[in-house]
């Protein structure tokens, strides 16, 4: 390429500035893509090497098999927690969870209200989905309802709880509780 050819390219670029700008941007983007692609290949190789080193370290440890079992158990627990998270917008499924417990325990739900979620910081992985519940039944039925919430598949935090008799002579009690279920962010 000599000076005359360069001057000809320069005159074409002056006559068509938008085309020249687009061509320049395409060249820069192509170079960036090539750089990212080569970086990704290098990072992939680095990741494979670290994975092999980790596997080698675990197998060379005396407690390697127990570490693998604990890792598998923790992954299973994490999967179960993730599968049982509440979706705040899915109101029907959330309420059905409490109605299912009502059917099992024979307690009577008087009032079940979803409450506004507390705004949490952006670093939190999960959100709290609160509910206010009022139910009646015998002491055994209401205690069974409370036990079912505490031991159920969904992670629950009971923030307030109160028992009182409906009438002094009656065996029925009225239970008010506020529950926060762990939900997806």
Task: Output the CA torsion sign for 176, 181, 93, 83.
Answer: negative
Q: Is the pLDDT of residue 179 over 90?
A: yes
pLDDT of residue 17: 86
What's the CA gap between 126 and 44, in Å, rounded?
A: 30
Same domain, 24 and 57: yes
- Could you read off the pLDDT of 7-51 as tens digits, one per residue? 888 888 888 888 888 988 999 999 999 888 888 888 899 999 998
What is the model's pTM? 0.62
What's the CA gap between 124 and 112, in Å, rounded?
A: 27
> Which domain covers residue 30, as residue numbers?
18-79
* Domain of residue 144, CATH code: 3.30.70.60
Same domain, 103 and 147: yes
> Is 3 among the domain residues?
no
Same domain, 180 and 115: yes
> Is 37 among the domain residues?
yes
Contact indicator for 132, 94 with CB cutoff of 8 Å: no
What's the CA gap between 125 and 47, in Å, rounded?
A: 25
- Could you read off the pLDDT of 59-104 as tens digits, one per residue? 777 777 787 788 889 999 888 888 888 888 888 888 899 999 999 9
- Total count of domains within the chain: 2
- Could you read off the pLDDT of 133-173 as tens digits, one per residue? 999 999 999 999 999 999 988 989 999 999 898 888 888 89
Residue with tokens 């002056």: 14
What's the CA gap between 73 and 145, in Å, rounded?
A: 29
> Is 6 among the domain residues?
no
């Amino acid at each position: 390429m000599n000076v005359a050819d360069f001057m000809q390219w320069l005159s074409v670029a002056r006559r068509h500035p938008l085309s020249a700008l687009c061509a320049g941007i395409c060249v820069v983007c192509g170079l960036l893509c090539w750089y990212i692609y080569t970086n990704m290949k290098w990072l992939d190789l680095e990741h494979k090497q670290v994975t092999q080193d980790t596997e080698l370290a675990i197998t060379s440890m005396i407690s390697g098999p127990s570490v693998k079992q604990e890792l598998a158990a923790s992954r299973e627990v994490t999967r179960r927690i993730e599968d049982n998270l509440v979706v705040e917008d899915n109101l029907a499924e959330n309420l059905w969870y409490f109605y299912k417990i009502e059917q099992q325990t024979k307690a009577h739900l008087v009032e079940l209200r979803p409450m506004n979620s507390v705004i949490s910081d952006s670093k939190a992985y999960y959100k709290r989905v609160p509910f206010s519940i009022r139910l009646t039944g015998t002491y055994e039925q209401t205690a069974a309802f409370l036990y079912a919430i505490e031991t159920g598949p969904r992670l629950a935090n009971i923030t307030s709880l109160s028992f009182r008799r409906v009438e002094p002579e009656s065996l029925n009690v009225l239970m008010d509780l506020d529950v926060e279920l762990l939900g997806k962010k």
